[in-house]
Amino acid sequence: MSVAENLNRINLLIEENCRLADREKSAVKLLAVSKTKPIEAILAAYQQGQTAFGENYVQEGVEKILALQQLGIRPQWHFIGPLQSNKTRAVAEHFDWMQTLDRVKIASRLNEQRPPHKAPLNVLIQINISDESSKSGIPPSQMLSLAQHIVTMPNLCLRGLMAIPAATRDQHMQIAAFDAMAKLFQRLQQAYPTQNIDTLSMGMSDDMATAIRCGSTMVRIGSAIFGQRS
Ligand SMILES: *Cc1c(COP(=O)(O)O)cnc(C)c1O
């Protein structure tokens, strides 16, 4: 199947699952995860109306951003990979969103390095919801203290939370992790009622339907749009 066909199918699936969950279709945004995929694939999705793309690797992402910019194409770019502090500048300068924020040090650097002529960088706090030692993200207990630092930074805009729960086919475990994220998201919204905390980024190709039913506002879909990665 082509990227265009896959994209249409995913958009229909989002719509269907929103209906099942009694939610508006516009309540769930689609982030197309284009890591390792060529410019042509991104262009195909863009021409089909897809406007938000996610990249995991700084250098690869920046190369694609600049290549598309040369063609006059400027979608919304989300950084969704682990970020080392020596690579923050490229993210601050080129991306619109950073979804994997999990340290004050990275937040400070992004805040300092965000070019003044650009809108504040939208950020999500990454939560290690399944408590896996291999995963980045902070434990839920540290969410509010990190948020407290971020909201003082003028060049960052805190928009919500992101998580990558442990991979499992057990739907009860999927639901438990997503429900826990939805509760944390509510707590963050209650703590900052005047901030625009509107984004709960969870759900990938294999667990998108469950994530939407549990309250996700942004699903990050790679292989179901662009095919398996080698
Ligand atoms: C690769 C990746 C995705 C997309 O995964 P698929 O299973 O291909 O849909 C989503 N989120 C993050 C953080 C990723 O690294």
Give me the tens of pLDDT residue by residue for the chain, a chain 230 residues long. Answer: 899 999 999 999 999 999 999 999 999 999 999 999 999 999 999 999 999 999 999 999 999 999 999 999 999 999 999 999 999 999 999 999 999 999 999 999 999 999 999 999 999 999 999 988 877 899 999 999 999 999 999 999 999 999 999 988 899 999 999 999 999 999 999 999 999 999 999 999 999 999 999 999 999 999 999 999 98
Kindly give the number of the ligand 1 atom that is closest to the alpha carbon of 56.
15
CA-closest candidate to residue 162, choices 188, 193, 190, 192: 188
Write out the residue range of the structural domain in which residue 73 sits: 3-226
Structure-block tokens of residue 4: 């265009």
pLDDT tens digit sequence for 141-172: 999 999 999 999 999 999 999 999 998 889 99
CATH number at residue 15: 3.20.20.10
Q: Output the residue whose Cα is nearest ligand 1's atom 5.
A: 222
pLDDT tens digit sequence for 123-147: 999 999 998 887 789 999 999 999 9
Q: Output the residue whose Cα is nearest ligand 1's atom 12.
A: 80
Residue 152 Cα to ligand 1 midpoint, Å, equals 30
Residue 143 vs residues 28, 99, 129, 149, 225: alpha-carbon distances, Å: 23, 14, 11, 10, 32
**In whole angstroms, what is the distance from residue 217 CA to residue 98 CA?**
16
Q: Output the residue whose Cα is nearest ligand 1's atom 6.
A: 222
Residue 57 Cα to ligand 1 midpoint, Å, equals 12
Amino acid identity of 183? Answer: K
pLDDT value of residue 1: 85
Q: Pick from 204, 219, 221, 229 the residue to mutate for probing ligand 1's pocket: most ligand atoms within 8 Å of its CB.
A: 204
Kindly give the number of the ligand 1 atom that is closest to the alpha carbon of 31.
10
Residue 52 Cα to ligand 1 midpoint, Å, equals 14
CB 114 within 8 A of CB 92: yes
CA-closest candidate to residue 164, choices 212, 132, 122, 195: 132
Q: Which residues line ligand 1 (CB under 6 A)?
A: 33, 35, 56, 80, 164, 204-206, 220-224
Q: Output the residue whose Cα is nearest ligand 1's atom 4.
A: 222
pLDDT value of residue 132: 84
- Count of the separate structural domains present in the chain: 1
CA-closest candidate to residue 80, choices 98, 62, 93, 94: 98
Q: Is the dihedral of CA 200, 193, 118, 155 positive or negative?
A: negative
